[in-house]
Chains A and B, each alone.
Chain A
Amino acid sequence: MTSTADQLFRPADAVINWARKNSLWPFFFGLSCCFVEEATAWGPRYDIARFGSEVFRGSPRQADVLIVSGTMFKKIAPVALQLYEQMSDPKWVISMGSCSNSGGMYDVYSVVQGSDQILPVDVYIPGCPPRPEAVFEGLMLLQKKIDAGERPARPVLHLPGGSQGGREDFLVDGQTKARDTRGPGYAGIPIRGTAATEPRFAGSRAEVLWTPPAPGLTLSREQEVLAADLAAVFGGDATLVTGQDAPGDMPTFEVAPARIPEVLDHLKRKAPTRFERLEDLTAIDETARKAPAGREATAVYTLTSLSAATMVRLLCPLPSREAALPTATGVWSAANWYEREAAEMFGLRFDGHPDPRRLLTHRDWVGHPLRKDYEGRATNMPAFTREDCARLAPVDAAEILGERAKDGDYLLNFGPHHYATHGIIRFVMALRGERIKAMGIDIGYHHRGVEKIGERQTWHQFIPYTDRVDYLSGIANNLSYVTAVEKLAGIEVPPRAAYARVMLSELFRLSNHLMYFGTFLQDLGMMSPIFYALREREMVLDIIETITGGRLHPSWLRLGGLAADLPEGWKEQVAAFVKIFPGRLKEYHAGVTKNPIVKARTKGVGGITAAQATDRGVTGPNLRAAGVSWDRRKAMPYGAYADFDFDVPTRQNGDCYDRYLVRMDEMRESLRIIEQAAARMPEGRYLSADSRYCLPQKDAALKDIESLIHHFVNVTRGPRLPSGMAYAATEAPRGEQGYFVVSDGGCHAYRMRIRTPGFANVQALPHIIEGLSIADCVAVLASYDYILPDIDR
């Protein structure tokens, strides 16, 4: 029954609602992967302007729709709440994607299990990530909600009654919402099959299963010389690991903790093979080993020699998890962040470290998440509430810079929410005028605890998580992971699968570099290129969708091969693209590369020398722009890359312009590889016949009982891998991405370490940016091409 007043104001309500719903202005607020699809919805083909919502606002004051696109991390939640509060009324909230809706696949200590616990959500969009069409569906639902549910005329005219704006209440766990995805009433029963997947699953038949030992390593001549040299210099303090335990991927030495800086320095400067780069530094908690290891933790140092294209690993046994070992920051400044991370994740101490603070987690975080006894699941922790937001509010800018900020400097927060940060990362700048005198970086806003998750997912189950480590490079991520596991277990990949993997990885490189091209120039102030780039990117995604059925996160590689064979029609689509794309590249060059403004903004700006880049562990196109001709695909080929003919583009100055040019050239080379892969695609199996570890091909699983059993066992319990460790790195679009997998002879990893290009690259940013102006800083960030989950994992 409607009152007379309702009827009286109905026409005015209808007019105001009509105006509002057709000009919703979304806030330019992205948390992770989902935002890529949201931005794609804004681009050509999808064109969100049809709904009157193309004006993505950079400031909360000018926006009225908050699309929470991506994972709501505990560290970013206080910021999201603050931004929501700063939006003007009336306002609405759309929760986009599974992570934002419920935590999604990230049931892990650092993720809020649903943004509705802190924000009032009006519309939920399901999907991981939802396609651009789903964004429109959500937008239309919101329009309907406004149209049907709101009576804004009276509030607008200051009269009592009526209603406007989205809901204002957030949900409270246990009262208005249940984090249990099965709904209420299941308390006491472990959720999401935890009993079967947690590390100590009692009575697992995998325990009594025999697996062949991991493949061993035969040392090359140079490696023998190196081992002899280390033995001669350090005697019993640096011994080569031999026998059954020797990892098969690279020579591994056990080093006494006290002498680690000396050994590192020796390997860097004096050894017969020089190791120029600290590839990775991490630790392993040994307390949950099936057979007691006789120590509580191990620190792991991985080094890469660019001159000899070889690697070496140093293991440092530590008696306890609180043990101290000397810092390596004196040898490699890049060790700084790695040691901070190892310290906060495992509780280790690094004596002499210049800045021993937490890196990824908040200052007031309690516990060391990668310890085996740390609760990994958010659903087993108390629900995150608005009180926690107040407790974990971001620390003050002055605290991040510390003593480097001088009196009279103006401290500016650049991020975590900013157009030009390309994700949630926080740069703190000490400014004198427009000049950046000092820069501090606060990361961890995008920490998804994926290394912890890796310790509870079976070897196959973990593959979808790898897609999301660098969310613009999908299958290229899968490749790093499966390569590492295949190395550990000695799995042979059939040639057809190997070629398809190369082709798909290169397609993702194209997709990534196209996005780079568009966003780089948009940050410099050119609006048009992104529309061209997104147009071509859609062509690439179409091919990927034809082959895999997915867009951003196909999760399409499997141990030993692919999820399915290449479908009919893929070749024609690739051929059409290969024909069109060179012309488009020329178009880009004609419009951009010679543009005097682009040159003025980027040439000679933000340069880094080859020596500095190598020393700081910078990898990928950023390294090659500085003149180092190092590409894993060429230098240490993996998969089928040795079969392909391509060049490694380099430049000399390492400045923004060169970083741009290298990527433009890489697109051309990727296209060459794709063309060759498509032309020479071998016939045959797409999955290895090694059913001990690999899934059987689908047609076989549907036809014979043996394959079906293998399928069942490998999908549910997961294959049991031999114990050991392996590191494999690939040349991902943004640089070298490596997986260090440690197996204790179980169905899941004992330790899953991801060495990402972004972590090392971004650590070098203050070196590049300090001394530049703010405008130049934006050019550097845009040209540098990092991505947040790749830094924070």
Chain B
Amino acid sequence: MPQPLAYVPLDAPFSPWNPGALPLLIYVGIVCGVMAVILFLSGFLTRRRPSPAKQQPYECGIVPTGPGRFRYPVPFFLVAVLFLLFDVETAYIIAYAAAWPDLGLSGYLRMAVFIVILGIGLAYAWSKGALDWDEEEGL
């Protein structure tokens, strides 16, 4: 089997193997350029013709009642945030489980500490009432 030819970059500054700052700069430049063109065009090609009706919020064709800024209880929000926490935890645990044979007891202990700390956090949130389904909270 013939040896594969050694890779000789055409131009050292653009080598993917020896990354330098120049490609990054050019990349940033292209991104900014494209963004500027898109933002300019979408702003320039839009013909704005504001009218009182258009400035109003849309509510099924009726002029809305009352202010739009008001307190709105979202009980599922707290639950969702807590869920997100444990979602991230799952990501760590699965990564840890994949490396289980290499990490041994010390890995196990570290993971246990991680989980216990999260557990304490959950208990604290629970005791503070974060899991109570209070639909009128804050009203």
**Interface set of A (CB-CB < 8 Å, partner B):** 59-61, 79-80, 82-83, 85-86, 88-89, 155-158, 393-394, 396-398, 408, 410-418, 426, 432-435
- Known contacts A156-B45, A411-B66, A432-B135; is A418 also within 8 Å of B58 by CB? no
- Contact B56–A410 (Cβ < 8 Å): no
- Contact A413–B59 (Cβ < 8 Å): yes
- Known contacts A89-B47, A155-B47, A433-B135; is A410 also within 8 Å of B64 by CB? no
Contact partners of A396 in chain B: CB under 8 A: 63, 65
From B47, B49, B63, contact of A156 by CB (8 A): B47
Task: Give per-residue flags for B39-60: 1 if the beta carbon is below 8 A from chain A beta carbons, else 0.
Answer: 0000011010101011010111
Contact partners of B60 in chain A: CB under 8 A: 79, 413-418, 426
- Contact A86–B135 (Cβ < 8 Å): no
Q: Which chain A residue lies CB-closest to B51?
A: A85
From A79, A88, A397, A408, contact of B61 by CB (8 A): A79
Q: Which chain A residue lies CB-closest to B56?
A: A86
Contact partners of A415 in chain B: CB under 8 A: 60
Contact partners of A59 in chain B: CB under 8 A: 58
- Contact B58–A86 (Cβ < 8 Å): yes
From A61, A408, A412, A413, contact of B139 by CB (8 A): A408
Docked CA distance A416–B59 (Å): 9
Contact partners of A416 in chain B: CB under 8 A: 60-62
- Contact B135–A79 (Cβ < 8 Å): no
A-B contact pairs, 25 of them (CB 8 A): A60-B58, A79-B60, A79-B62, A82-B61, A82-B63, A83-B61, A86-B53, A86-B54, A86-B58, A158-B47, A393-B63, A394-B61, A397-B65, A408-B139, A412-B59, A413-B59, A413-B62, A413-B64, A413-B65, A417-B60, A418-B60, A426-B60, A432-B73, A433-B135, A433-B139
Docked CA distance A434–B74 (Å): 8
Asked if B136 is at the interface of the complex by the 8 Å CB criterion, the answer is: yes
* Majority SS at the chain B contact face: loop
- Contact B62–A432 (Cβ < 8 Å): no
Docked CA distance A398–B64 (Å): 10
Docked CA distance A418–B66 (Å): 20
- Contact B54–A85 (Cβ < 8 Å): yes
Chain A nearest CB from B132 CB (Å) reads 14
Q: Which chain A residue lies CB-closest to B135?
A: A433
Contact partners of B53 in chain A: CB under 8 A: 82, 85-86
How many B residues have CB within 8 A of the partner chain? 25
Contact partners of B45 in chain A: CB under 8 A: 156-157
Contact partners of B136 in chain A: CB under 8 A: 432-433
- Contact B70–A397 (Cβ < 8 Å): no
Chain A nearest CB from B134 CB (Å) reads 9
Contact partners of B70 in chain A: CB under 8 A: 410
Q: Which chain A residue lies CB-closest to B54?
A: A86
- Contact B139–A426 (Cβ < 8 Å): no
Q: Which chain A residue lies CB-closest to B61?
A: A79
Asked if B75 is at the interface of the complex by the 8 Å CB criterion, the answer is: yes
Chain A nearest CB from B61 CB (Å) reads 4
Q: Which chain A residue lies CB-closest to B73?
A: A433
Asked if B72 is at the interface of the complex by the 8 Å CB criterion, the answer is: yes
Chain A nearest CB from B108 CB (Å) reads 38
Q: Which chain B residue lies CB-closest to A87?
A: B54
Chain B nearest CB from A390 CB (Å) reads 12
Docked CA distance A155–B48 (Å): 11
Chain A nearest CB from B89 CB (Å) reads 27
Which of B51, B65, B135 has the most chain A CB within a 10 Å cutoff? B65
Contact partners of B54 in chain A: CB under 8 A: 85-86, 88
Contact partners of A426 in chain B: CB under 8 A: 60, 62
Chain A nearest CB from B116 CB (Å) reads 35
Chain A nearest CB from B84 CB (Å) reads 21
- Contact A397–B58 (Cβ < 8 Å): no
Docked CA distance A158–B59 (Å): 32
Q: Which chain A residue lies CB-closest to B62?
A: A413
Docked CA distance A80–B49 (Å): 19
Docked CA distance A59–B54 (Å): 12
A-B residue pairs, 10 tightest by C-beta: A85-B53, A79-B61, A397-B65, A433-B73, A413-B62, A417-B61, A411-B65, A433-B135, A83-B61, A413-B59
- Contact B72–A61 (Cβ < 8 Å): no
**Beyond A88-B54, A410-B72, 18 extra complex contacts between A and B, CB < 8 Å:** A85-B51, A86-B54, A89-B49, A156-B45, A157-B45, A393-B63, A394-B62, A396-B65, A398-B65, A413-B62, A414-B60, A415-B60, A417-B61, A432-B136, A433-B75, A433-B135, A433-B136, A435-B135
Contact partners of B44 in chain A: CB under 8 A: 158
Chain B nearest CB from A114 CB (Å) reads 20
- Known contacts A89-B49, A433-B73; is A80 also within 8 Å of B139 by CB? no
Chain B nearest CB from A147 CB (Å) reads 20
Q: Which chain B residue lies CB-closest to A399?
A: B65
Contact partners of A79 in chain B: CB under 8 A: 60-62
Contact partners of A89 in chain B: CB under 8 A: 47, 49
Docked CA distance A637–B62 (Å): 45
Chain A nearest CB from B68 CB (Å) reads 10
Contact partners of B66 in chain A: CB under 8 A: 398, 410-411
Q: Which chain B residue lies CB-closest to A431?
A: B72
Q: Which chain A residue lies CB-closest to B70?
A: A410
Task: Give per-residue flags for B14-32: 1 if the beta carbon is below 8 A from chain A beta carbons, else 0.
Answer: 0000000000000000000
Docked CA distance A384–B41 (Å): 43
Contact partners of A411 in chain B: CB under 8 A: 65-66
Chain B nearest CB from A80 CB (Å) reads 7
Chain A nearest CB from B57 CB (Å) reads 9
Q: Which chain B residue lies CB-closest to A89?
A: B49
Q: Which chain A residue lies CB-closest to B71?
A: A408
Chain B nearest CB from A442 CB (Å) reads 9
Chain B nearest CB from A412 CB (Å) reads 7
Contact partners of B49 in chain A: CB under 8 A: 89
Docked CA distance A61–B54 (Å): 8
Q: Which chain A residue lies CB-closest to B55?
A: A86
Chain B nearest CB from A174 CB (Å) reads 27
Q: Which chain B residue lies CB-closest to A427?
A: B60
Chain B nearest CB from A74 CB (Å) reads 15
Contact partners of A417 in chain B: CB under 8 A: 60-61
Docked CA distance A89–B70 (Å): 31
Chain A nearest CB from B47 CB (Å) reads 6
Docked CA distance A85–B51 (Å): 8
Docked CA distance A161–B79 (Å): 57
From B58, B61, B64, contact of A80 by CB (8 A): B61
Docked CA distance A411–B51 (Å): 25
Contact partners of B75 in chain A: CB under 8 A: 433
Contact partners of A156 in chain B: CB under 8 A: 45, 47
Task: Give per-residue flags for B119-139: 1 if the beta carbon is below 8 A from chain A beta carbons, else 0.
Answer: 000000000000000011001
Chain B nearest CB from A514 CB (Å) reads 27
Docked CA distance A393–B53 (Å): 13
Chain B nearest CB from A599 CB (Å) reads 21
Docked CA distance A376–B1 (Å): 98
Q: Which chain B residue lies CB-closest to A412?
A: B59
From B47, B58, B74, contact of A61 by CB (8 A): B58
Docked CA distance A60–B60 (Å): 9
Contact partners of A82 in chain B: CB under 8 A: 53, 61-63
Which of B45, B53, B70, B72 has the most chain A CB within a 10 Å cutoff? B53
Contact partners of A61 in chain B: CB under 8 A: 58
Docked CA distance A432–B71 (Å): 10
Docked CA distance A432–B72 (Å): 8
Chain A nearest CB from B53 CB (Å) reads 3
Q: Which chain A residue lies CB-closest to B48?
A: A89
Q: Which chain B residue lies CB-closest to A84?
A: B53
Docked CA distance A59–B60 (Å): 8
Docked CA distance A411–B135 (Å): 17
Docked CA distance A416–B58 (Å): 12
Docked CA distance A518–B73 (Å): 33
Docked CA distance A447–B117 (Å): 65
Which of B58, B73, B74 has the most chain A CB within a 10 Å cutoff? B58
Contact partners of B56 in chain A: CB under 8 A: 86
Q: Which chain B residue lies CB-closest to A419?
A: B60
Chain B nearest CB from A85 CB (Å) reads 3
